[in-house]
């Protein structure tokens, strides 16, 4: 993308080559958060300042960690949807990061079976979404199986409308921990369900359920091959689950 170009609505699908997830695991917690936050910011300024030449034409770099490291990435738009592919991170000195990037491209590190969605990467790196400037609650997961939903409702743990907005693992948590001394406790069940989701430590369970009822973004994500489940008009990265 040329300097000054932007993604549609400043939104993009963000995917990582598996190699960069492994690289980030070697950094400290604060360093990982700093790097990931800078990558998230690329959704609003994807063109960057350091376009690369052959054999890395089309790729760009992002300075991170006070300029001591660079992230190699590519920003494109396909069928009106932004895509940010993040390849690797390495020291800025001695062109080490470029040698690493060339090797990664040649070995197909961004092939279908060797990429990780941003949200999955956050979980693998044990980084809370809010720490990198993202909203951790503005998505709607795929609902739990119908039989589970019916069972939770029949047990008096969750009402039907709420059950329809919970994922399988969330509903399992509700069914396991939603009991008080006098039997089913719907408030306890809902809190237990949402504690399974990655997000801020403090939250209003009822507010989250209200947010999940909002209209979804629905943009078809290029690499995930699924529709974005975040709220319509969300900033930054799309989300597949």
**Whole-number pLDDT of residue 16:** 97
Here the contacts of 63-72 (C-beta below 8 Å, separation 24 or greater) are: 63/92, 64/34, 64/35, 64/38, 64/89, 65/31, 65/34, 65/35, 67/92, 68/92, 69/35, 69/97, 70/97, 71/20, 71/35, 71/38, 71/39, 72/97, 72/98, 72/100, 72/101, 72/104
**Whole-number pLDDT of residue 14:** 97
**97-107 pLDDT, tens per residue?**
999 999 988 88
**Whole-number pLDDT of residue 199:** 55
Here the contacts of 142-149 (C-beta below 8 Å, separation 24 or greater) are: 142/167, 142/168, 142/241, 143/167, 144/168, 144/170, 144/171, 144/172, 148/172, 148/175
> Quick one: fold of 8-132?
YaeB-like fold (3.30.2310)
Q: Please give the residue that has the higher pLDDT: either 112 or 76.
A: 76
Angle separating helix axes 146-154 and 168-177, nearest 10 degrees: 20
| Mean pLDDT of the residues in the chain | 92
**134-152 pLDDT, tens per residue?**
988 889 999 999 999 999 9
**165-216 pLDDT, tens per residue?**
999 999 999 999 999 999 999 999 999 999 877 655 567 888 899 999 999 9
Which stretch of 11-25, 128-142, 146-160, 162-176 has the lowest confidence by average pLDDT? Answer: 128-142
Q: Considering the entire predicted model, what is its pTM?
A: 0.89
Mean pLDDT of all residues in 5-21: 95
**Whole-number pLDDT of residue 206:** 87
Within the chain, all domains assigned CATH 3.30.2310.20 are found at: 8-132
Q: Please give the residue that has the higher pLDDT: either 112 or 38.
A: 38
Beta bridge partners of 185: none
């Amino acid at each position: 993308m040329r300097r000054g170009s932007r993604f549609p609505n400043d939104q993009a699908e963000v995917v990582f080559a598996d190699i960069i997830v492994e690289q980030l695991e070697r950094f400290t917690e604060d360093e990982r958060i700093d790097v990931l936050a800078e990558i998230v910011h690329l959704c609003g300024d994807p063109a960057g300042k350091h376009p690369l030449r052959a054999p890395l034409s089309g790729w760009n770099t992002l300075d991170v960690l006070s300029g001591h490291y660079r992230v190699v990435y590519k920003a494109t738009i396909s069928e009106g949807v932004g895509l940010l592919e993040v390849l690797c991170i390495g020291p800025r000195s001695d062109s080490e990061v470029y040698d690493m990037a060339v090797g990664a491209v040649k070995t197909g590190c961004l092939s279908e079976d060797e990429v990780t969605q941003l949200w999955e990467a956050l979980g693998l790196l044990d980084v809370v979404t809010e720490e990198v400037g993202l909203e951790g609650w503005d998505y709607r997961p795929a609902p739990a199986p119908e039989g589970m939903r019916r069972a939770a409702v029949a047990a008096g743990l969750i009402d039907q409308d709420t059950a329809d907005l919970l994922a399988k693992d969330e509903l399992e948590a509700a069914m396991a921990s939603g009991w008080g001394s006098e039997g089913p406790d719907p408030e306890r069940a809902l809190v237990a369900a949402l504690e399974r989701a990655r997000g801020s430590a403090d939250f209003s369970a009822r507010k989250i359920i209200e947010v999940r009822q909002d209209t979804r973004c629905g943009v078809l994500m290029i690499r995930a091959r699924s529709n974005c489940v975040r709220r319509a008009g969300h900033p930054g990265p799309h989300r597949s689950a």
